[in-house]
Structures are given as structure tokens and as C-alpha cells.
A and B are shown apart, each in its own frame.
Chain A
Amino acid sequence: MKGTKYANAVGAVRAMENSLLGKSDIEQMINARSKAEITAMITSGKGVSAPEDLSAVWNMLKEYAPDCKELEILLYRNDFHNLKAVLKAIISNREPDQYYIAPSNVGLEELKEAINSKDQSGLPEYMRKAAADAYELVTRTLDGQLSDSLIDRSALEAMQKSAAESGSEFMQRYAQLQTACADIKTAYRCCMLNKSAQFMETAICGSHDLEKDSLIKASLSGTDQLFSHLETTPYSEAAALLKMSSAKYEKWCDDAIMELAESARVLAFGSEPLAAYYIAKETEIKNLRILSVCKEFGADRDTITERMRKLYV
């Protein structure tokens, strides 16, 4: 019986979903007069919502889930971000601790050890090649941007590969969406900065929905060509928003991931509800961050509402 091994974990997650912030909670916070008032609401209200609490959420999911292999894909972005941070810090003789993002599958010490010793065998299989290639690239070219692009692309490739291996349709769609959102943004930036085909080859990953070669070809021909190409893909709506503003595009990407998470709301078994809860918590924290920054800079109610990400509950 597929997914019934997660019955206990799904039961726990469904009970925890009651503590997620709802529409009316967010409305109340938007109407708050100051950042301090929002903080007071969070501390007196329901649920945990500080950014560092995402690690607690992850640890709790790990505790309940009988198998975390599929769920680990959710942390690949953090793993590869940390790889970038450690690589840069070591090259420039700084401590990477302050740039480290938690939760992650790979600890800071493991990353430091792998980079310092130039021996990647201690890293998970999905990171080894990227770590070796990025180190070689940055020491050879001293081009931090190029090595960052390589690591970002490797993260997306690793997500797609692991998702395909897991056989989970949910994780495959998650990886595809993450890849497409990142690729469109990268292609647009490359276009604006007149980057070479070689750079794009390193930076763009490609996916089932958004083929790499045609995206690079369109990007090399200018923004108009890029947008006309995107109009023929499932991401035409996202492209139209990117034309207007990058903030609107970012919101579209987050909402698309949330729509995917919503599909797990009707499932009683499997790892999907756990992944969806993690995504919901991540979005909740992002919303609170946006809210607090907007309040700090005195943004009006409409601007804040426009920027709020779709909620899970």
C-alpha cells in the first residue's frame, strides 16, 4: 500500500497545519501600524515563525518521516548555497559561518573539510562533481560569478536527477518548477548583461518544460526574442510578469510552488503532505520577512498585499 508508511507523519503534519498563519492573521498583520506591532502579534499568536525555526520544522519532519530521501531534495538549494559560501570564504580567507543557511543536508564542517582538503568524497554524491568543478573553475579563472552560476545550475540538475530517481511526481514537478523559474531569471539577466553563449551554457540548466538550447538561443537574440520564446512555453504568464517587474515574477514563482504544495492537501498518505508543510512554513517565514521589511520602510497597504505570497491554509 503506497505511502502508508507515512501515516503517522501525515497525521502529525495535519495537526500542525492548524498552527500555520491563515489569511485573517496576515490581514491583521498588514493592518498593523508598525514592525513592533507585528512582532508582538507573532509572539503572542499561534505557531513558530522566526526564520531559524525552519530548522526546527525540518528536524521535526525528519523525526516523524520513516524515510527522508525524497524530502532531502527540498534542501538541495541550501546545500549548494552553502557550498558557494564556503568556497568563496575559503578562497578569500574568511569564515563562512555567517553565510551558512540552515536547514541543510550537509553540515558546515563537512563542506569546509571537503573544500580545504580538495577531497569531495565526504560530500553527498549529488554535490561531489559540482564542488570539484567549481573549485577548479574559481581557482583557474578567479571568476566568482561563473563558479556561482555553475553551482546554481548543478543544484538544479541534482534536484531533477534525485527527483526522477525517487519516482515521486510531486518532487519531479517541484524540481521542474524550481529549474524553470531559475532558468528564466538567469536567461533574462544574461540578456540584459549581454553575457556570452559560453556563460549561458554554464548558468542555464534546462528542464522538460523549458529546453536549454532554445532558451540560450532566444536569450542571445535579445530580450524581445527571449519573451517571444517564453510566450510559447507554459511560462508565458511568468514572462509577462517579468517584463513588468522582477518582484511580480518572484511572487509568481513562489505561488506556483505553493499551488503544487496545495495539491498535497488532499492526500492522506505519502511524503507529499510533509514536503507541502515544509514549503508552507518556508512561505510563511518569507511572508513575515516581506511584511516586516515593508513596515520598516513604510510601504502602503496595497503594496504589501500585492507582495504577499499565496498561503497554504
Chain B
Amino acid sequence: MTNGLVLALIGAALAALLAGIGSAKGVSLVGEAASGVVSVDPSKFSKVLLLELLPGTQGLYGLIAAMFILIKTNVLSGNAADISVQQGLAFLAASLPIAVVGLISGIMQGRTAAAGVSITAKKPDHNGKAIIMAAMVETYAILALLISVLMILNIAV
């Protein structure tokens, strides 16, 4: 295994790890707020569940970026490509947008969605507004994923 491949794998690991941590933190925060509502009014379960799902997407984006790196470096096929240090660093750099933005936006989307749980608890008819506000945070995770994927796909191996 070359040093370049190690760097590329570190990039893949960071994308999955940091974005996953962001999602885990975000989902757990919304889960706490949602449990409070459901413990008093179980009929609101389905409405708060939608909000709880939102911060979970960053983890998926991290997984997608990591998969692209693994595919591009042929690690999945069991016949890893001969990656130079420069190429390895390029993969590592390409993983950073979704790794860092995934971490931060996951946590922040969790906060927004947890605040939205209060809207759902008090005014269930306005649940859509709470979802829209939390979904706005998603934009930046999508942009980061887009940049990460474009960079990964354009690294010549």
C-alpha cells in the first residue's frame, strides 16, 4: 500500500467520520426534544419524526463522498490503484468540504430542527414551516457534497 493510498483512505474516513458525528449529534438533539413532546402527546410522533430525520442526511453525504473515493481508488474492487502522494493529498483535500461542513451543519440543523419541534408541539398545522426552516441548513451540506464529489471525480488516477 502506497503512502498516497493511505492519504486517500484518510480522506474517505474523515468524510464518513466527521459528517457522521455531525448527524449523530443533530439527530440526538432533535430526538431529545421530540421525546419530550411525544411523552406528553404521543399523537405527534409522525410529525416530529420528520424533523428528527433531517439532520441525518449529512452522515449519508459523508458516506457518498467516502464511497466515491473508494471506487475511484479501486479499493472496493480489491485491486487498489497505485496512488502517488500528490494524488492522495488531492483525495484528502477533496473530502474536506463534506467532512467539515457535514459536521457543523449536522449539529446546527439539529438545533434548528429541535427548535422546530416546539412549533410542532404548539401548532401542529405549522409543521411544514418548521421543516422548511431546518431544511434551509441542508443547502450548505449539499453544496459541500457537490464540491467534494466534483473534486474526487476530477482527480486523475
Which residues on A are within 8 Å of B, measured CB to CB?
Answer: 1, 4, 7-18, 64, 268-269
B30 → chain A, closest Cβ, in Å? 8
Contacts of A16 in B (CB 8 A): 40
- Asked, given contacts A12-B39, A12-B40, A268-B115, whether A7 binds B33 with beta carbons under 8 Å apart, the answer is yes
Separation of A15 and B123 alpha carbons in the complex (Å) = 9
B39 → chain A, closest Cβ, in Å? 6
Contacts of B121 in A (CB 8 A): 11, 14-15, 17-18
Which residues on B are within 8 Å of A, measured CB to CB?
Answer: 29, 32-37, 39-41, 44, 107, 111, 114-115, 117-118, 121-122
**How many A-B residue pairs lie within 8 Å, measured between CB atoms?**
63
Contacts of A9 in B (CB 8 A): 36
The reply to whether A11 and B111 form a contact with Cβ atoms under 8 Å apart is no
Contacts of B111 in A (CB 8 A): 1, 4, 268-269
Separation of A64 and B122 alpha carbons in the complex (Å) = 18
Separation of A268 and B33 alpha carbons in the complex (Å) = 9
Separation of A1 and B114 alpha carbons in the complex (Å) = 13
A298 → chain B, closest Cβ, in Å? 37
The reply to whether B122 and A4 form a contact with Cβ atoms under 8 Å apart is no
Contacts of A13 in B (CB 8 A): 36
The reply to whether B36 and A268 form a contact with Cβ atoms under 8 Å apart is no
Some 24 contacts from A to B, beta carbons below 8 A apart, are A1-B111, A4-B111, A4-B114, A7-B33, A9-B36, A11-B32, A11-B33, A11-B34, A11-B37, A11-B114, A12-B37, A13-B36, A14-B37, A14-B117, A14-B121, A15-B40, A15-B44, A17-B121, A64-B36, A268-B115, A268-B117, A269-B111, A269-B114, A269-B115
The reply to whether B122 and A8 form a contact with Cβ atoms under 8 Å apart is no
- For the complex of A and B, 6 pairs with smallest distance between CB atoms: A11-B36, A268-B115, A12-B36, A14-B121, A15-B40, A11-B33
B25 → chain A, closest Cβ, in Å? 9
Contacts of B37 in A (CB 8 A): 11-12, 14-15
Closest A residue to B113 by beta carbon equals: A268
Contacts of A8 in B (CB 8 A): 32-33, 35-36
Separation of A18 and B40 alpha carbons in the complex (Å) = 10
Q: Interface majority SS on A: helix, strand, loop or mixed?
A: helix
Separation of A269 and B117 alpha carbons in the complex (Å) = 11
The reply to whether A11 and B118 form a contact with Cβ atoms under 8 Å apart is yes
A287 → chain B, closest Cβ, in Å? 21
Separation of A206 and B70 alpha carbons in the complex (Å) = 69
Contacts of B33 in A (CB 8 A): 7-8, 10-11, 268
Of B36, B41, B122, the most chain A CB neighbours within 10 A belong to B36
Contacts of A11 in B (CB 8 A): 32-37, 114, 117-118, 121
The reply to whether A14 and B122 form a contact with Cβ atoms under 8 Å apart is yes
A104 → chain B, closest Cβ, in Å? 25
Contacts of A15 in B (CB 8 A): 36-37, 39-41, 44, 121-122
Closest B residue to A14 by beta carbon equals: B121
Contacts of A12 in B (CB 8 A): 36-37, 39-40
Within 8 Å by CB of B36, from A1, A4, A7, lies A7
- Asked, given contacts A4-B114, A269-B114, whether A18 binds B36 with beta carbons under 8 Å apart, the answer is no
The reply to whether A10 and B122 form a contact with Cβ atoms under 8 Å apart is no
A137 → chain B, closest Cβ, in Å? 46
Closest B residue to A1 by beta carbon equals: B111
B32 → chain A, closest Cβ, in Å? 4
B38 → chain A, closest Cβ, in Å? 8
Of A14, A17, A64, the most chain B CB neighbours within 10 A belong to A14
